[in-house]
Chain A
């Protein structure tokens, strides 16, 4: 799976370039490569979470302390963040999240569909600017533009990485 995520290396380079220092995540298969790259970089604090909303607080705290953070999660995790996003909006904290989509393109697991279909609307309803990306070649530039909007223009921005880019889950070999 990791060799099939060359776009993740490009995103990682962008995150380094814009000086992200804290990477908070709940694992998703679509983020395997990015999490691995982040953990292997001793200049980054890579923070495993028990639930995605913890990442919102961490990123707010990082900004209070003068650092930039990013939250990596899958679309179902967006649902866990809703109330915590109040703090981002009320305080106008810069916020960047990279969301790997489920329940969207060729999904097999019906339980992923409700939140996957609701992801964009949920984020937008909480004041987050949403940038969906469908092709791998547009990913790095979208993350770069989203990061500028977040950290230079003090906005909350989510990049939604389409299931089309990540690929279908192989249900013959692995499980949910």
Chain B
């Protein structure tokens, strides 16, 4: 019997599993490991990777979700990245975009910079913050059953949705997607907007 606090989920498997059900969702990633996780699951024209702008992933998601209210928008980012933009959780909650899901891959560490503890390791509850801010749905996921149950919520339920997925702090191999920001932007817009992208 594992206790609620035991962390066993593997981040690569978690991200790949969520993305299996993405459908035509638009996807943004935070800098570092979540970008490598998404790249490992397969590059896609509907992906835009932040290679910097730490703390900004959820905000890019908000602007995109407001501009594209008919499309699902997923943001997959790290606990450290989200902690740097904690106020953004409040800003999203106030805007209440029904098509936005924030997913924090929470290894309770700054994985990319040497696995130093983040505040979530010391009890800061990001899902609690999102719930208190007023998200339509907020949960922390610890195992495969909970992950399976939350995926339809992430991909379909009326948002804003916040999910923290607790994953092991095991270093992962770096898988690099394209990194030229202008290319990523134009590729994303071309796919989403067609000829309007170059107006």
Contacts and interface: CB of A to CB of B under 8 A. Distances in A.
A29 interface: no
B64 A64 contact: yes
Contact of B192 (A56, A64, A84, A92): A64
A67 interface: yes
B87 A51 contact: yes
B41 to A, nearest CB: 20
B181 A62 contact: no
Contact of B184 (A56, A63, A86, A91): A91
Given A54-B88, A56-B59, A93-B185, A62 B67 contact: yes
A41 interface: no
B94 interface: yes
Given A54-B85, A83-B54, A84-B56, A92 B182 contact: yes
Contact of B59 (A58, A91, A92): A58
A86 B182 CA distance: 12
Q: Chain B interface mostly helix, strand, loop or mixed?
A: helix
Contact of B57 (A22, A57, A64, A92): A57
A67 B63 CA distance: 9
10 contacts: A50-B90, A61-B63, A63-B185, A66-B189, A69-B63, A86-B53, A87-B52, A87-B53, A87-B60, A93-B185
Interface in A49-94: 49-51, 53-67, 69, 83-84, 86-87, 90-93
A45 interface: yes
Nearest to B189: A64
Contacts of A90: 51-52, 181-182
A133 interface: no
B68 A50 contact: no
A22 B69 CA distance: 13
